[in-house]
Amino acid sequence: MLRTAGAILLAAAVAGLVFGLSAVVSVALYRTVPLTHTPLMILRAAQRSDAYPARWHWRPLERISPHLARAAIAAEDSRFCSHNGFDWQAIRQVLKTLEETGGIRRGASTISMQTARNVYLTPHRSVIRKALEAGFTVLIEAFWGKRRILEAYLNIAEWGPGIYGAEAAARAWFRRSAERLTPAQAALLVSTLPGPLRWRPDRPNRRIARKARIVRERMHLVKLGKDRACGR
């Protein structure tokens, strides 16, 4: 029995090592190579069959309007350029709110964490997925840097049925390229991110219109570097 337990532990250790090495290799590869698909895209395709054929066009960050980058940071992660992948201030606030009220009104997921989840994991919630998400967040922060993380985030975000990335979203909802998005259009796009299958940026309801106005007000506070991200 001890021999069997030892074999199981050894197999688990080897499997963990192989997974860890493959994760590092994958993250290192995608530092420069454009993504070809994500688990969410595969999941949605399986759910919807061919009802909504995927529209996705990878664009380098310099071909995406800086208004959209500012809007995403303003709406989703105002401390994106200053944290290491985890917004500890937001995490402490969430824990405090949970302790005081027993509920959570707003999470503490950063753009880095969302990118790690969208690139490597499915949206199904579990403790294991959160642990893997944290691990991949550390890896992409180390290997990619802020510019690549922001570029990937804007290129793989789901913006409607079968619509992925800034270019496809801009063309589907506003009939223009991603690099020609206006501040108002950028704010509307990011305002639908929590529910891209429920809300339309081209026909915003009161909730989305109100959120977009708040995002517009915050966008001027986001200062992008010469690399269109957090560089100087």
**What is the SS3 assignment for 71-131?**
HHHHHHCCCCCCCCCCCHHHHHHHHHHHHHHCCCCCCCCCHHHHHHHHHHCCCCCCHHHHH
Is a pLDDT exceeding 90 seen at residue 152?
yes
Q: Could you tell me if 25 and 2 are in contact, meaning their C-beta atoms sit under 8 angstroms apart? A: no
CA–CA separation, 34 and 117 (whole Å) = 17
Q: Is residue 2 part of a domain?
A: no
Tens digits of per-residue pLDDT, 102-119?
A: 655 566 899 999 999 999
Asked if the structure places residue 191 within a domain, the reply is yes
What's the pTM value of the predicted model, to 2 decimals? 0.88
Residue 43 has a pLDDT of: 87
Residue 161: inside a domain: yes
Q: Is residue 21 part of a domain?
A: no
Q: How far apart are CA 71 and CA 215, in angstroms?
A: 6
The answer to whether position 16 is within a domain reads no
Give the domain extent around 91. Answer: 31-219
Amino acid residing at 54? A
| CATH number of the domain residue 41 falls in | 1.10.3810.10
Q: How confident is the model at residue 209 (pLDDT cuts 50, 70, 90)?
A: very high
When divided into structural domains, the chain yields a total of: 1
Task: Output the CA torsion sign for 14, 84, 142, 122.
Answer: positive
In which band, very low, low, confident or very high, does the pLDDT at 11 lie, cut at 50, 70 and 90?
very low
Sorted by sequence, the CB contacts under 8 Å of residue 116 that are 6+ apart come out as 133, 136, 137, 139, 140
Percent of the chain with pLDDT over 90: 60
Residue 22 lies in a domain: no
Give the bridge partners for 158, in sequence order: 164
Assess if residue 227 is contained within a domain: no
pLDDT at position 232: 61
Domain membership flag for residue 203:
yes
Given a cut of 70, is residue 91 above it in pLDDT?
Answer: yes
Please, which residues bridge with residue 55 across strands? Answer: 163
Query: Is pLDDT above 60 for 19?
Result: no
